[in-house]
């Protein structure tokens, strides 16, 4: 494992293997929990995922055996914490296909990573008359920072439309790109529709127009292999808690020459080379963007989560979740009065948002909870998308590799029971 400067070597990508969820479920203490006297069926993985014992133990071990602040002391404990924190960065580099460690900034989550780019790169590079393209299927975390940037600078946010079946309108995207476009900020996978966007094509088209691309990878990095060198994205944001890791940790990947030219967002300890009464000189990457005590225990938890996911196999996870989604779509679409939003199974990750005729999404979630099934209901922080779909709210089942086909079948049965409850009313 290299902790020195430069590119971190990656092992060859794992080939797809048959995935047996029962091989892994035993590692997740919460999956043994009963809700209303029945085994928990956790289908709210797009909001956050459950944690395996290995992640919980790694964080506890750090606190119990190696804990001291990082980058500050030369005492043994501080060195132990620092080594582990920097090794966590190497683990992230390998996950992303062998990027440089200077290009990996730890943040406290996806939201902070996107805001960092909007504040730092945005304020420096965007001005009146410029355009930022975002899609109609973005999460608020990839909308509001650009609206705020537009308010500060006089730039315009333009919306790439989606089709009725929840696919990005690539033709429209192509025709919206122009010399005014400074950035395309796009999600790799919709957190509501499950749509898998053609990220590489979007990036190639944007680059041909000299625009940069930020990929919101919050819903893709946890579920599929990520090869940033083939994407050639300029910025990529994702978080730890949706991929078995703890809350409070996320990642901003940025191309080195871009990050080098950007001013730091937050000032404080750790991000400076020197401070004088007259001013300060920022530190080199990645420290420049990591002011204050970083969430280093969380970073170590994230690294353990990544190692766990790699053991399961990212390709296997992607293939298995697509199978589950296909099964769920077949089961749910066979029920009269259930409407599924978004594309067909081949263009979709393991996320299914749906509506039951005559039943509000919040009631659906409440009744499913009685069957010990956890789903989210509401606008899922994607209000413009719900306006486009012309529904106030949807119910959403989102899968991870520890979910089973038996659980999907129970969801189908619980939905049929929900309809019966409402027919009686």
- Please say which residue, 109 or 225, places its beta carbon nearer to ligand 7TS: 109
Residue 322, CA atoms < 13 Å, CB-side half-sphere: 19
Q: CB of 108: closest distance to ligand 7TS in angstroms? A: 8
Whether cis (ω within 30° of 0) applies to the bond prior to 286 is: yes
CB of 415 to ligand 7TS, least distance (A): 20
User: What is the CA 186 to chain-centroid distance, rounded?
Assistant: 12
Q: Compute how many other C-beta atoms are within 10 angstroms of the C-beta atom of residue 9.
A: 11
Of residues 319 and 381, the one with the C-beta less far from ligand 7TS: 381
Give the tokens for residue 275: 């401070």
Is residue 388 within 8 Å of residue 162, measured between CB atoms? Answer: yes
Whole-number minimum distance, CB 240 to ligand 7TS, in Å?
Answer: 8
**Full strand arrangement of the beta sheet holding 212-216:** 104-107, 250-254, 235-239, 212-216, 181-187, 131-135, 156-160
Complex with ligand 7TS: residue 102 or 290, whichever CB lies closer? 290
Q: Which is nearer to ligand 7TS, 30 or 275 (CB)?
A: 30
Beta bridge partners of 216: 187, 237
| Long-range interactions of 206-212: CB distance < 8 A, separation 24+ | 206/177, 206/181, 207/232, 208/177, 209/177, 209/178, 209/179, 209/181, 210/179, 211/133, 211/177, 211/181, 211/182, 211/183, 211/184, 212/121, 212/182, 212/183, 212/184, 212/258
Among the listed residues 106, 143, 141, 127, the one whose alpha carbon sits nearest the alpha carbon of residue 266: 106
93 is catalytic: no
Q: How far is the CB of 353 from ligand 7TS (least distance, A)?
A: 10
Q: How far apart are CA 111 and CA 136, in angstroms?
A: 18
32 CB contacts (<8 Å, ≥6 apart)? 39
**Residue 111 C-beta: closest distance to ligand 7TS, Å:** 3
With vertex at residue 218, the alpha carbon angle to CA 385 and CA 93, rounded to the nearest 5 degrees, is 155
Look up residue 154 and give its two tokens: 């006089």
Measured from the CB atom, is 191 or 355 closer to ligand 7TS? 191
Query: Which C-beta is closer to ligand 7TS: that of 48 or that of 209?
Result: 48
Least Cβ distance, residue 95 to ligand 7TS (angstroms): 17
Among residues 93, 108, 265, 381, the one annotated as catalytic is 381
Cβ contacts of 79 within 8 Å, gap of 6 or more = 73
Contact partners, residue 58, CB within 8 Å, separation at least 6? 300, 301, 303, 304
Closer by beta carbon to ligand 7TS, 55 or else 141: 141
Shortest Cβ 333–ligand 7TS spacing (Å): 22
Instruction: Determine the Cα–Cα distance for residues 184 and 199; give it in Å rounded to an integer.
Output: 11
List of residues contacting ligand 7TS (CB under 6 A): 46-47, 109-111, 139, 141-142, 187, 191, 216, 218-219, 239, 376, 380-381
Instruction: Indicate the residue among 139 and 348 with the shorter CB distance to ligand 7TS.
Output: 139
* Tokens matching residue 274: 């020197």
Q: Measured from the CB of residue 110, what is the shortest distance to ligand 7TS in angstroms?
A: 4
Q: Show the tokens assigned to 120.
A: 């730092």
**Of the candidates 290, 274, 260, 288, which has an alpha carbon nearest to the alpha carbon of residue 124?**
260
Catalytic residues: 381
């Amino acid at each position: 494992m290299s902790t020195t400067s430069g590119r971190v070597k990656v092992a060859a990508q794992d080939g797809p293997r048959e995935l047996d969820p029962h091989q892994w479920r035993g590692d997740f203490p919460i999956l043994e929990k009963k809700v209303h006297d029945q085994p928990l069926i956790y289908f709210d993985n797009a909001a956050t995922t459950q944690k395996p014992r290995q992640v919980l133990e790694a964080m506890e071990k750090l606190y119990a055996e190696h804990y001291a602040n990082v980058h500050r002391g030369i005492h043994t404990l501080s060195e132990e914490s620092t080594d582990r924190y920097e090794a966590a960065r190497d683990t992230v580099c390998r996950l992303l296909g062998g990027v440089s460690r200077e290009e990996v900034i730890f943040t406290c989550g996806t939201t902070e990573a996107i805001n960092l780019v909007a504040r730092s790169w945005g304020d420096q590079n965007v001005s009146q008359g410029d355009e930022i393209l975002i899609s109609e299927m973005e999460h608020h975390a990839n909308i509001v920072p650009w609206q705020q940037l537009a308010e500060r600078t006089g730039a315009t946010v333009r919306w790439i439309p989606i089709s009725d079946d929840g696919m990005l309108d690539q033709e429209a995207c192509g025709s919206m790109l122009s010399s005014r476009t400074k950035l395309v900020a796009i999600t790799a996978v919709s957190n509501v529709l499950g749509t898998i966007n053609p990220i590489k094509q979007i990036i190639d088209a944007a680059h041909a127009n000299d625009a940069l691309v930020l990929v919101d990878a919050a819903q893709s990095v946890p579920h599929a292999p990520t090869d940033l060198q083939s994407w050639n994205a300029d910025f990529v944001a994702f978080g730890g808690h949706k991929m078995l890791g703890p809350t409070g940790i996320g990642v901003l990947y940025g191309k080195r020459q871009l990050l080098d030219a950007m001013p730091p967002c937050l000032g404080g300890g750790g991000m400076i080379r020197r401070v004088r009464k007259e001013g300060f000189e920022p530190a080199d990457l990645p420290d420049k963007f990591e002011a204050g005590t970083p969430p280093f225990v969380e970073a170590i938890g994230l690294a353990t989560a990544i190692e766990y996911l790699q053991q399961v196999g990212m390709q296997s996870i992607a293939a298995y979740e697509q199978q589950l989604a296909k099964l769920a779509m077949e089961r749910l679409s066979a029920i009269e009065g259930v409407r599924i939003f978004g594309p067909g199974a081949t263009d979709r990750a393991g996320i299914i948002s749906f509506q039951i005729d005559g039943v509000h999404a919040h009631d659906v979630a409440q009744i499913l909870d009685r069957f010990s099934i956890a789903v989210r209901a509401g606008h899922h922080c994607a209000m413009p998308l719900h306006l486009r779909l012309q529904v106030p709210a949807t119910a959403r089942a989102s899968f991870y590799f520890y979910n089973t086909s038996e659980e999907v079948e129970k969801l189908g049965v619980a939905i049929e029971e929900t309809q019966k409850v409402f027919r009686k009313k």
